[in-house]
Amino acid sequence: MTTADLPSPGQRNTAIRNVWVLAAAQMLLGSQMPINFILGGLAGQILSPVLCFATLPITLIVFGSMASAPVISTVMQKYGRRAGFLIGAAGGATGSCLCALALWVGSFWLLLAGSLLSGLYMSAQGFYRFAATDGVDDAFRPKAISWVMAAGLASAIIGPQLVKLTTDALAPVPFAGAYLAAAGLNVVGAGLFFLLHSPKPPRPTADSPRARGYLELIRTPHIAVAMICGMVAYALMNLVMTSTPLAIVGCGFGTSDAADVVSAHVLAMFAPSFFTGHLINRFGVERIIAVGLVILMGAGIVGLSGVELSDFFIALVLLGIGWNFGYIGATSLLTAHHRPEERGRVQGMNDFFVFGCVGIASLTSGGLMNCSGGDAQTGWQAVNLAMIPMLTLAGASLVWLAIRVKQSRV
């Protein structure tokens, strides 16, 4: 970035204000993520006609996010960030209401429809981290991403506590009250986006720079590796977290214990964000991604070591920290290697592949957990063993990138 490209003081102040707005949205609307992951598998177990499909509601949230990511990204590129974020909040509110209704009438298909629609919220939330980088310089970019992600620390507390407070609010229908609480979060949180400075992007002219094509972008080494590492970090987090409530309850613990473990996990996902950006600036983004992959491997090792409640806590905390380093690192690497006019194309493509991989992971999680031997302990071991090939892929891509960069300097 040249001196001419640096933002003015006024632009920087606006960008910082946007970061705080996005952080507040992450805190409030992001509380849905632990709610959906705590309830999705448990509600699926109640309504699903086939036990192996218990985690299908979570899978459809992710596939809904995957399918809508390019659309929401295009909307943002054309009409501004606010339009895309409001679409996400509307989808989250409507989807949560449908899930509550599904439990009330006992319809698994309605639960799946509500979950699919909730994917709009998850897709829009994924762009908070990208929106935080709009108009900022290279040095501030990792910090902006980290600050927005750090707000998830509050969502890690709000979401599980809402589950505890509202699970039996509409007794004898379990979980319906918690889903309605999630709908309320969307309604309240949508108001934050009117505080966001999100002008409509200027129309391209004949002299405007042209974005590279999808194939050219994906063949760019840094973009390809960022996408691979982002896919692996998020998919492994989802693979393990999706099955965690089922494993905990299946091993003889209660729903409240599952909520506590998921809460600790989400805290671990976002607490490191207070310093992840500083670490990236100091040690380099590739090294931080590599550390994240090593921590994710540690989570798998702990998961295989036992099924005491303490084992679940340690494994899920490590899973959260590894996700943080891997995912924020991958996001920083991606945003540093595309141009402003390519923003909508690159970011939509990235999240399409990330959430596609995450969707496959969540679907796989339910199959491994419920169809690997008939008991929760065997299923839990299968879930943790499934981490190995994906970690190998991400690690190999980082090594390949290091070799390419070294060769280009010779």
> What SS3 class is residue 43?
helix
Closest CA to 258 of 242, 275, 236: 242
Total residue length of the chain: 410
* Domains along the sequence of the chain with CATH: 9-200+213-409 (1.20.1250.20)
* Contact (Cβ atoms closer than 8 angstroms) between residue 124 and residue 87: yes
Query: 287-319: per-residue pLDDT in tens?
Result: 999 999 999 999 999 999 998 999 999 999 999
- End-to-end CA, the chain: 23
Spell 363-378 as b/e; 16+ CB within 10 A means b: bbbbbbbbebeeebee
Q: Which residues of 102-140 are buried (b: 16+ CB within 10 A; e: fewer)?
A: bbeeeebebbbbbbbbbbbbbbbbbbbbbbbbbbbeeeb
337, 222 contact by CB (below 8 A): yes
Residue 177: name the closest of 165, 192, 193 by CA: 165
| Residue 9: per-residue pLDDT | 61
Q: What is the mean pLDDT of each run of 10 residues along the chain (410 residues)?
A: 47 81 92 85 84 80 86 86 93 95 94 93 87 78 83 83 86 89 93 84 66 84 94 92 87 85 85 87 94 97 93 95 94 84 82 84 79 79 93 96 84
Q: What is the pLDDT of residue 206?
A: 62
pTM here is: 0.75
pLDDT at 343: 77
Select from 139, 66, 120 the least CA-distant residue to 349. 66
The tokens describing 183, both together, are 């709908």
List the beta strands (DSSP E) in 77-181.
none
Render pLDDT for 210-262 as a digit per residue (tens, 0 to 9): 777 888 888 999 999 999 999 999 999 989 988 888 889 888 888 788 878 98
Residue 5 has a pLDDT of 43
pLDDT at residue number 92: 94
| Euclidean distance between CA atoms 116 and 84, whole angstroms | 17
DSSP state of 200: P
Angle between helices 221-250 and 376-385 (to 10 degrees): 170
- Residue 3 has a pLDDT of 37
DSSP character at residue 171: T
Q: Give every CB contact of residue 363 below 8 A, 6+ residues apart in sequence.
A: 55, 56, 59
Contacting residues for 341 by C-beta, under 8 A, at least 6 apart? 204, 208, 209, 210, 211
Write the burial class of residue 400 (CB in 10 Å: 0-12 exposed, 13-18 middle, 19+ buried): middle
- What pLDDT sits at residue 233? 95
